[in-house]
């Protein structure tokens, strides 16, 4: 029966260039046997290579290409005819996305699951990670799976076979659904042709699989014109990276220097590979001649070509005989060398922070390629935030949206099912539905899993907002939102549409033995702030108070900056006031976000020494105390932060953005004892006063300046300390940070802050010191000052 079913579904899939899904529900070993039967049936019909079949499983010893659930994303490079996902023992939602993404048109996705009625109640290895201390595994629910099972039973193109349990014989195997799907309307499968007036070589167009891809390549031709920005938005599996690679190779063949960047090299690998193939083809053959290059409209190759005719270089760099090249650099590094390349291609742009993307606009021409519905976060933030900046820039912007899948037809039932099951197309409410919302009309609601499951639109729009809040929001997070006992979802809702959403995690309240083991180096799942404060910052008591961490927060982009975020936090603070000792947050620090959290009453206790590889941001952790025990925790860590930061600023934090430092220090709680005094010797005061009012120099007492600047900036943004704050303008504060606190050389500080000369910068330090003398000066310091003023 299994063999026949597999052959039928496979033939149907091949005919339609779609995929089909077969679920083998029941006993695991029987499911595995049935999966072998499926592969044999497919192979008997139309022989397939052994590496055309892959399995994702916690077990080993299959005769297929094996992947562990945790590493299933390794599947994403190549496509397969059959991919089997063994959901027993450890079912990872992300792995399902990766596995489905690897099945070619005409192929089969096979799921081995427990009995579908029982599956939601079974706890497995993935659930163990959701049982965050002090919660137990029995507190984790199976709602994500319940929903998933519903989608399997409902969507077309999905066959379900009950393979029975261990005791009963094969006669108990029976078909629950045959998964037949109506064939789609006929589509046009013709390969695209090279436009007559195209500038890129024929081979670039011949390599395109869909008309959409050829349109992208065509749009990318304009990268040869300075002042162009090309934006390619695409669903996953539409061939945008290949199109970018074909363009990169074509530009390099015409002698251009093309810089490719992405959040990680693995994202850009395909761009480089495609470019290499094209360059290899063209440089090796006749197409590489100088005449041809000129005819293709690119820059004419220089006379002194590189001697050899073949493409050379490393995995990260391809050189052409014409002196052109394509090279990869990580995003932060790439943004620092934009003077050299002729064109920049940013792949997976949506995963990079907007500030970084903006810097690429200074390159002569630039392409931003991005996935809209991904398996690891979608590109809404890019679509909204970066689009605004792009509209303001002086570029000619060309847009392409790739919809046509390259490996199967549009409307493929497995893709439709996957989008629904994992909410890959979740997005916030359409703008028109919420644009007029007023924060006064919004209702604060607890969106518990039951409420979310009862309303598909609410669930999708809520998850869509969480995806916007953080590009790394992924399918596993959907399972966490629905099943993890430590998580809560809260929202402001207008007419049943969520307009601002926060995901909250309970942390702390850990028993003594757990705190001790954490102090001694054990990791404790899902307790980010207690873990940081205990193991890294060496506070064994930090895990005791009850905390609530704001894991993610986002306001609908049409309503940002109109008070929803603040109001949502207010309501959360009120709801949990009797329940927790403190509220916390950790995020990639930017000046605006620091301001948002500081205004909501959060105080800095940590700034990471390393930068996030992708965003280049340093993460900051802030606390907002609720009870006395929360206040004690904050006070200990605010004090430790002040002591640590004084030295870290000229060491690990030397290069951190000045405004991030200003925001982090300005939002840190000042020493309640020492807000009005800075402990300097008389001699140091004389040196400081002389630098401010007379002939003295900063370099005579750098430590004294540092103490003063530090005291002036700590807590300077906190409203409660406004009456004792030092009056400094933005420019003066930036100078104190760069030169005095981060210890930059005069030359570097002058260049970085744009002073006309070192003398003017030194004078500015003197001026910035005057309010410090006024605020902290001893009587001796005042007398010294008066001597200069009164002559």
Ligand X SMILES: CC(=O)SCCNC(=O)CCNC(=O)[C@H](O)C(C)(C)COP(=O)(O)OP(=O)(O)OC[C@H]1O[C@@H](n2cnc3c(N)ncnc32)[C@H](O)[C@@H]1OP(=O)(O)O
* Annotated binding-site positions for acetyl-CoA: 553-555, 599
Q: Least Å distance between CB 615 and ligand X? A: 11
Place of tokens 């995963």: 351
Of residues 58, 355, 562, 627, which one binds ligand X by CB under 6 A?
562
Stretch that binds ligand X, among 35-43, 84-92, 267-275, 549-557 (CB under 6 A): 549-557
Nearer to ligand X, 101 or 565 (CB): 565
Of residues 170, 285, 561, 672, which one binds ligand X by CB under 6 A?
561
Q: Least Å distance between CB 557 and ligand X? A: 7
**Cα separation of 422 and 740, whole Å?**
51
Sheet holding 228-234, edge to edge: 317-319, 325-328, 257-261, 343-346, 365-371, 228-234, 396-402
| 97 touching ligand X, by CB under 6 A | no
Query: Binding string to ligand X for residues 564 to 593, with x set by CB under 6 A, is what?
Result: xxx------------------x-x----xx
**Cα separation of 268 and 272, whole Å?**
6
Q: Least Å distance between CB 700 and ligand X? A: 39
Stretch that binds ligand X, among 334-342, 356-364, 551-559, 677-685 (CB under 6 A): 551-559
SS3 188: coil
Q: Least Å distance between CB 565 and ligand X? A: 2
Q: Least Å distance between CB 483 and ligand X? A: 21
Nearer to ligand X, 500 or 732 (CB): 500
Nearer to ligand X, 649 or 661 (CB): 661
Stretch that binds ligand X, among 545-553, 707-715, 717-725, 740-748 (CB under 6 A): 545-553
* Binding footprint of ligand X, residue count (CB under 6 A): 22
**Cα separation of 268 and 245, whole Å?**
9
Query: Dihedral, CA atoms, 562, 564, 566, 569, nearest 10 degrees?
Result: 180
Beta bridge partners of 333: none
Stretch that binds ligand X, among 207-215, 558-566, 633-641, 698-706 (CB under 6 A): 558-566
At a CB cut-off of 8 Å and minimum separation 6, what does 751 contact? none
**Cα separation of 580 and 576, whole Å?**
6
Nearer to ligand X, 285 or 561 (CB): 561
**Cα separation of 271 and 127, whole Å?**
37
Query: Binding string to ligand X for residues 398 to 417, with x set by CB under 6 A, is what?
Result: --------------------
Nearer to ligand X, 566 or 629 (CB): 566
SS3 649: coil
How many Å separate Cα 725 from the centre of its chain?
Answer: 37
Tokens of 733: 């504060």
Nearer to ligand X, 162 or 733 (CB): 733
Phi (first) and psi of residue 174, to 5 degrees: -145, 155
Tokens of 617: 């941001």
Task: Specify the DSSP element, H or E, that contains 671.
Answer: none
Tokens of 401: 């949206």
Q: Least Å distance between CB 278 and ligand X? A: 38
Nearer to ligand X, 328 or 587 (CB): 587
| 546 touching ligand X, by CB under 6 A | no
Nearer to ligand X, 590 or 668 (CB): 590
Beta-carbon-side half-sphere exposure of residue 731 (alpha carbons within 13 Å): 10
Q: How far apart are the first and last CA of the chain?
A: 105
Q: Least Å distance between CB 92 and ligand X? A: 24
Residues 469-528 that bind ligand X (CB under 6 A): 469-470, 500
**Cα separation of 96 and 44, whole Å?**
27
SS3 370: strand
Q: Least Å distance between CB 429 and ligand X? A: 14
**Cα separation of 715 and 664, whole Å?**
9
Q: Least Å distance between CB 774 and ligand X? A: 28
| Nearest residue to ligand X, by Cβ distance, number only | 565
Stretch that binds ligand X, among 43-51, 273-281, 468-476, 642-650 (CB under 6 A): 468-476
Of residues 119, 596, 602, 685, which one binds ligand X by CB under 6 A?
596
Cα–Cα distances in Å, from 388 out to 354, 385, 400, 742?
10, 6, 17, 33
Of residues 350, 554, 658, 692, which one binds ligand X by CB under 6 A?
554
Q: Least Å distance between CB 353 and ligand X? A: 10
Nearer to ligand X, 216 or 354 (CB): 354
Nearer to ligand X, 469 or 712 (CB): 469
Of residues 123, 177, 410, 595, which one binds ligand X by CB under 6 A?
595
Cα–Cα distances in Å, from 172 out to 4, 26, 32, 176, 180?
17, 11, 16, 12, 22
Nearer to ligand X, 56 or 494 (CB): 494
Per-residue DSSP letter, 543:
T
Task: Specify the DSSP element, H or E, that contains 100.
Answer: helix 93-101
Q: What angle do CA 415, 430, 408 make, to 5 degrees?
A: 15
Q: Least Å distance between CB 555 and ligand X? A: 3
Of residues 218, 552, 686, 738, which one binds ligand X by CB under 6 A?
552
* Residue 611 CB burial class (10 angstroms; 0-12, 13-18, ≥19): middle
Binding-site residues for ATP, please?
213, 407
Of residues 553, 680, 735, 737, which one binds ligand X by CB under 6 A?
553
Q: Least Å distance between CB 571 and ligand X? A: 12
193-199: Cβ within 8 A, 24+ apart? 199/224, 199/250, 199/254, 199/296, 199/297, 199/298
Stretch that binds ligand X, among 128-136, 200-208, 293-301, 548-556 (CB under 6 A): 548-556
Q: Least Å distance between CB 575 and ligand X? A: 17
Binding-site residues, please?
213, 407, 553-555, 599
**Cα separation of 582 and 635, whole Å?**
12
Nearer to ligand X, 363 or 468 (CB): 468
Closest CA to 32 of 40, 21, 24, 43: 24
Stretch that binds ligand X, among 69-77, 465-473, 520-528, 735-743 (CB under 6 A): 465-473
Stretch that binds ligand X, among 203-211, 467-475, 486-494, 635-643 (CB under 6 A): 467-475
Nearer to ligand X, 305 or 566 (CB): 566
SS3 541: coil
Q: Least Å distance between CB 656 and ligand X? A: 18
Nearer to ligand X, 436 or 522 (CB): 436
* Residue 182 CB burial class (10 angstroms; 0-12, 13-18, ≥19): exposed
Contact 669, 634 (CB under 8 A): yes
Sheet holding 603-611, edge to edge: 443-446, 487-494, 497-508, 546-555, 582-588, 618-625, 603-611
| Residues at the interface with ligand X (CB under 6 A) | 468-470, 500, 550, 552-555, 560-566, 585, 587, 592-593, 595-596
């Amino acid at each position: 029966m299994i063999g026949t079913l597999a052959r039928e579904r496979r033939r149907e899939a091949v005919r339609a260039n779609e995929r089909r899904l077969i679920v083998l529900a029941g006993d695991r070993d029987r499911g595995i046997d049935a999966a072998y039967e499926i592969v044999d049936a497919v192979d008997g019909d139309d022989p397939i290579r052994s590496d055309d079949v892959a399995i994702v499983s916690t077990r080993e010893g299959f005769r297929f290409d094996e992947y562990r659930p945790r590493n299933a994303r390794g599947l994403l490079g190549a496509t397969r005819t059959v991919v089997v996902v063994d959901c027993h023992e450890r079912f990872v939602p992300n792995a399902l996305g990766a596995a489905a993404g690897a099945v070619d048109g005409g192929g089969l996705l096979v799921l081995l699951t427990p009995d579908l009625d029982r599956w939601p109640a079974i706890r497995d290895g993935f659930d163990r990670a959701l049982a965050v201390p002090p919660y137990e595994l029995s507190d984790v629910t199976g709602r994500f799976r319940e929903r998933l099972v519903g989608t399997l039973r409902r969507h077309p193109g999905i066959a379900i076979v009950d393979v029975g349990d261990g005791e009963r014989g094969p006669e108990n195997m029976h078909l629950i659904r045959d998964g037949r799907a109506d064939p789609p309307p006929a589509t046009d499968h013709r390969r695209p042709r090279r436009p007559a007036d195209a500038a890129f070589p024929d081979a670039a167009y011949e390599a395109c699989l869909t008309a959409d891809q050829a349109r992208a390549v065509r749009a990318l031709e304009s990268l040869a014109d300075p002042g162009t920005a090309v934006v390619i938005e695409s669903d996953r599996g539409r061939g945008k990276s290949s199109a970018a690679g074909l363009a990169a190779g074509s530009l390099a063949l015409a002698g251009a220097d093309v810089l490719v960047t992405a959040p990680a090299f693995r994202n850009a690998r395909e761009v480089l590979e495609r470019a290499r193939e094209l360059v290899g083809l063209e440089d090796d053959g006749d197409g590489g001649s100088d005449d041809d290059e000129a005819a293709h409209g690119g820059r004419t190759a220089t006379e002194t070509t590189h001697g050899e005719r073949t493409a050379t270089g490393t995995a990260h760099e391809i050189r052409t005989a014409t002196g052109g090249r394509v090279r990869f650099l990580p995003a932060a590094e790439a943004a620092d060398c934009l003077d050299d390349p002729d064109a920049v291609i940013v792949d997976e742009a949506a995963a990079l922070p907007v500030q970084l993307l903006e810097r690429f606009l200074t390159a002569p021409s630039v392409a931003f390629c991005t996935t809209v519905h991904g398996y690891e976060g979608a590109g809404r933030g890019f679509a909204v935030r970066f689009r605004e900046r792009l509209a303001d820039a002086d570029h000619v912007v060309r847009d392409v949206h790739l919809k046509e899948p390259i490996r199967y037809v549009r409307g493929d039932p497995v893709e439709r099912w996957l989008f629904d099951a994992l909410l890959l197309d979740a997005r916030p409410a359409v703008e028109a539905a919420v644009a007029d919302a007023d924060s006064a009309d919004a209702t604060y609601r607890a969106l518990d899993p039951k409420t979310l499951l009862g309303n598909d639109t609410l669930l999708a729009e809520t998850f869509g907002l969480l995806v916007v809040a953080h590009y790394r929001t992924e399918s596993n997070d959907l399972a966490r939102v629905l099943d993890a006992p430590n998580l809560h979802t809260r929202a402001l809702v207008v007419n049943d549409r969520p307009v601002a959403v926060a995901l909250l995690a309970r942390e702390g309240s850990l028993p003594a033995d757990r705190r001790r083991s954490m102090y001694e180096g054990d990791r404790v799942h899902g307790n980010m702030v207690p873990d940081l404060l205990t193991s890294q910052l060496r506070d064994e008591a930090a895990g005791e108070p009850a905390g609530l961490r704001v894991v993610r927060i986002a306001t609908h982009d049409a309503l940002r900056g109109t008070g929803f975020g603040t109001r949502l936090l207010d309501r959360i603070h009120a709801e949990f006031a009797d329940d927790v000792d403190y509220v916390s947050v950790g995020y990639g620090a930017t000046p605006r976000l620091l301001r948002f959290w500081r205004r909501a009453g959060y105080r800095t206790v940590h700034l990471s020494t390393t930068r996030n590889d992708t965003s280049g941001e340093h993460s900051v952790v802030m606390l907002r105390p609720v009870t006395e025990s929360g206040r004690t925790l904050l006070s200990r860590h605010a004090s430790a932060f002040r002591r640590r930061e004084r030295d870290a600023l000229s060491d690990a934090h030397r290069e951190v953005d000045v405004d991030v430092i200003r925001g982090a220090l300005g939002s840190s709680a000042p020493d309640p004892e020492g807000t009005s005094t800075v402990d300097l010797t008389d001699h140091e005061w004389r040196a400081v006063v002389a630098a401010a009012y007379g002939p003295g120099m900063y370099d005579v007492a750098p430590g004294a300046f540092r103490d003063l600047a530090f005291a002036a900036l700590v807590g300077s943004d906190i409203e409660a300390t406004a009456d004792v704050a030092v009056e400094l303008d933005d420019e003066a504060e930036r100078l104190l940070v760069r030169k005095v606190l981060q210890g930059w050389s005069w030359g570097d500080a002058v260049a970085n802050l744009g002073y006309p000369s070192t003398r003017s910068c030194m004078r500015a330090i003197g001026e910035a010191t005057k309010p410090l003398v006024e605020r902290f000066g001893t009587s001796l310091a005042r007398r010294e000052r008066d001597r200069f003023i009164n002559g």
